């Protein structure tokens, strides 16, 4: 190909990679879907069960390798895939489909996988879309075994950039090691298990780039920009040279930042905590020097289960996290079942209300092992918050009757919908703390359809309407004397973070991989300049006006690589 191919996707793992392309054809195979006779049913079921056993063995080997390289906590990423290999919803349903519909195993696996994915995709939230990808990953392994495909090993020389439709976590364990230096996938998101593994292995990755032109071949020069979500295939010598310089500068930056604090130019100390959703991320959070966990998403525990884990199972996870981070604070967010609706946990059906009580009791018990706090998502009215606090006290009383010890526990709320920000003064009288989720707040404020493909382009937290809600929330918290943190994407973007500091935010929580960057940005900001800047931004008429204003006044203190990070 003569002209470079430029692709745009989701920046899933920070860094810059330069290497030669290695195109994986997985996911683009032609599968034989055929009818079978009644006499062939038994042998087809046997063939399917043999594929399940072989796939399970392959993933188990990958799990052991991951445990050896990065510890047992990281290996738990693959546990869900192993569980699915014994799940009746997949295994028994596939056998029944072969038997009842007289179709071959490949067809049955594909049909059952689509049925399992349907309710996850209907939910609309990014979390459940990623869980649908997990179903696809298991299907990929099974189809590979059924089709008799051999996984092609990487060449012995590098550096190599993998280009694939998708990469299952088990494949990632095998392939995100030298000579691989970068990853590009057509599908996927930043919270997928494969993306987490890319960050674990320190491999820059861009996912969700859409269809890659079929004429792209192995050995073409590729640049992967894990800051801006940009990929160049067929890069020129000049583009390679520039990318290599950025890569080396960023690696040196990471080495220099590991033990540095987050204090602004004028001496204001900022708390920079981490966002987590998997126990496997604990070691990375500790190694990065996070000031606690500002947002622990608990939904991952419901993956591929008909109901959440028991109280004791949850307690085991929560206390491990709390004890490891002590005395720093860990904030557990209750199950957020419907991220794109407005459910309050206390307004659920009977089963979900029971699950919530179980979770609250587990968090209360975990408070004995460290500094633990609990927060509720998507709270829209003061009455909902009050009901939530009543529920916590009821759970505490029930634990007391059982003789189960628990320490004091702060109860806070996410500020994610406009009504919560507009009523922040009222909420602040009852909440122990606020945590602002700028992603949802921007979407709801600007009436952007979260189900739309271009939703993120329209829901910009730099919009003055959103900024006014952010300012009102942090001001109300300050007047009431309660902490107010920011844990959405805005806290992880250099330009937006400088603005947030000017608005008055002194606590932020960002993805683990962005902790060094966030601390470096903090040290580049002078609060005496950021305050007036934020005040002026409130009078702007558009997000673009705000961006230009911040760039003009604060941009000189930023490394150019930061500005190129994916826009909020």
Long-range contacts of 51-56 (CB under 8 A, 24+ apart): 51/105, 51/142, 51/145, 51/146, 52/85, 52/91, 52/142, 54/145, 55/85, 55/138, 55/141, 55/142, 55/144, 55/145, 56/82, 56/85, 56/86
Q: Of 7, 410, 447, which is closest to residue 183 (Cα–Cα)?
A: 7
Q: In what order do the strands lie in the sheet with 221-225?
A: 5-8, 230-233, 221-225, 16-23, 160-164, 180-185, 205-207, 10-13
Query: 352, 320 in Cβ contact below 8 A?
Result: no
> Is 147 an annotated catalytic residue?
no
Nearest to 108 by CA among 151, 28, 47, 165: 47
Catalytic residue among 141, 193, 371, 443: 193
Q: What is the number of alpha carbons within 13 Å of residue 562 lying toward its C-beta?
A: 25
Determine the 3-state secondary structure of 36 from DSSP. coil
Tokens standing for 112? 């059952």
Q: How far apart are CA 27 and CA 160, in angstroms?
A: 20
Beta carbons within 8 Å of 390's beta carbon, 6+ residues apart: none
Quick one: residue 234, left, alpha or beta (phi over 0 = left, psi -120 to 50 = alpha)?
left
Cβ atoms of 162 and 114 closer than 8 Å: no
Taking CA atoms, 274 is separated from 11, 296, 531, in Å, by 18, 8, 25
Two structure tokens written together for 10: 């989701």
How many CB atoms lie under 10 A from the CB of residue 377?
24
User: Known catalytic residue: 487?
Assistant: yes
What is the spatial distance between Cα 242 and Cα 104, in angstroms, rounded to a whole number? 52
User: DSSP H helical segments within 429-514, as ranges?
Assistant: 438-445, 455-458, 464-480, 494-503
- Total Cβ atoms within 10 A of residue 236: 12
Q: How far apart are CA 508 and CA 461, in angstroms?
A: 15
Annotated catalytic residue within 85, 487, 493, 540 = 487
Phi, psi of 205 (to 5 degrees): -145, 145
Residue 415 and residue 422: Cα distance in Å, rounded? 10
Active site positions, annotated: 193, 487
């Amino acid at each position: 190909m003569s002209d470079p191919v430029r692709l745009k996707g989701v920046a899933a793992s920070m860094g810059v990679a330069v290497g030669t392309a290695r195109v994986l054809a997985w996911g683009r195979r032609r599968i034989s879907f055929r009818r079978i006779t009644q006499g062939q049913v038994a042998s087809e079921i046997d063939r399917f069960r043999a594929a399940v056993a072989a796939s399970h063995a392959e993933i188990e080997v990958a799990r052991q390798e991951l445990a050896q390289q990065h510890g047992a906590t990281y290996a738990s990423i693959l546990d869900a895939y192993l569980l699915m290999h014994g799940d009746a919803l997949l295994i028994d349903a596939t056998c029944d489909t072969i038997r009842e519909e007289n179709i071959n195993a490949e067809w049955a696996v594909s049909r059952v996988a689509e049925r399992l994915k349907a309710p996850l995709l209907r939910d609309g939230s990014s979390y459940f879309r990623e869980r649908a990808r997990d179903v696809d990953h298991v299907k990929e392994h099974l189809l590979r075994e059924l089709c008799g495909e051999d996984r092609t090993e990487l060449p012995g020389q590098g550096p190599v950039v993998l280009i694939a439709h998708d990469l299952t976590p088990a494949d990632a364990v095998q392939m995100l090691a030298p000579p691989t230096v970068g990853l590009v996938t057509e599908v996927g998101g930043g919270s997928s298990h494969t993306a987490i593994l890319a960050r674990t292995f320190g491999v820059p990755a861009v996912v969700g780039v859409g269809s890659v032109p079929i004429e792209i071949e192995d050995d073409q020069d590729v640049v992967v920009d894990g800051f801006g979500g940009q990929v160049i295939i067929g890069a020129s010598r000049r583009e390679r040279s520039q990318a290599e310089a950025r890569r080396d500068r960023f690696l040196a930056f990471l080495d220099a930042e590991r033990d540095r604090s987050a204090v602004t130019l004028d001496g204001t100390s900022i708390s920079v905590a981490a966002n987590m959703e998997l126990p496997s991320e604990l070691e990375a959070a500790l190694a990065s020097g996070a000031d606690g966990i500002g947002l622990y998403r608990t939904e991952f525990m419901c993956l591929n289960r008909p109901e959440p884990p028991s109280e004791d199972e949850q307690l085991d996870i929560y206390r491990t996290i709390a004890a490891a981070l002590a005395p720093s604070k860990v904030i557990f967010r209750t199950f957020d079942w419907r991220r794109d609706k407005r459910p309050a946990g206390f307004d659920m059906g009977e089963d979900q209300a029971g699950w919530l009580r179980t979770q609250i009791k587990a968090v209360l018990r975990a408070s004995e092992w460290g500094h633990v706090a609990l927060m509720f998502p998507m709270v829209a009215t003061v009455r909902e918050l009050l009901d939530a606090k009543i529920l916590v006290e009821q759970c505490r009383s029930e634990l007391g009757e059982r003789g189960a010890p628990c320490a004091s526990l702060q109860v806070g709320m996410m500020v994610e919908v406009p009504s919560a920000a507009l009523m922040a003064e009222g909420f602040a009288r009852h909440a122990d703390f606020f945590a602002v989720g700028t992603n949802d707040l921007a979407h709801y404020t600007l009436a952007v359809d979260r189900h739309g493909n271009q939703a993120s382009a329209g829901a910009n937290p730099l919009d003055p309407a959103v900024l006014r809600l952010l300012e009102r929330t942090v001001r109300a918290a300050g007047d009431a004397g309660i902490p107010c943190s920011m844990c959405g994407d805005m806290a992880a973007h250099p330009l937006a973070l400088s603005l947030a500091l000017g608005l008055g935010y002194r606590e932020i929580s960002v993805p683990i991989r962005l902790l060094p960057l966030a601390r470096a940005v903090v040290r580049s900001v002078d609060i005496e300049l950021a305050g007036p800047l934020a005040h002026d931004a409130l009078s702007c008429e558009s997000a673009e006006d705000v961006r230009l204003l911040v760039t003009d006044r604060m941009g000189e203190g930023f490394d150019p690589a930061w500005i190129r990070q994916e826009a909020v």
